[in-house]
Amino acid sequence: MRESFYTFVLTYRGGKWEDSKTRFAETAFLDHSFPKSSMSFDEISSYIEMIADDNMTTQTFDELWDLYAAKYE
């Protein structure tokens, strides 16, 4: 069964703050409005663009999404 993108991202928590994926995961964890059950690129991408947080950049989202999608190919 495919996990949500949020659940996948949480696997990057606890790393070094210098790692953009760790910053993304920690920020998503603290963001109560993050679409936690979504598996939709468009929905999450729109959310990331809307909030414009320095720790949840579109570049890091794209990197994480590629890893997420590859996991389920």
The pLDDT score that the predictor gives to residue 68 is 97
Q: How confident is the model at residue 61 (pLDDT cuts 50, 70, 90)?
A: very high
Mean pLDDT of 26-54: 95
Query: What whole-number distance in Å separates Cα of residue 20 and Cα of residue 56?
Result: 8
pTM exceeding the 0.75 threshold for the entire prediction:
yes
Tens of pLDDT, residue by residue over 23-39, are 999 999 999 999 999 99
Mean pLDDT of 12-28: 97
CA torsion through residues 33, 40, 66, 61, sign? negative
The structural domains of the chain, ordered by start, are 5-71 (1.10.150.260)
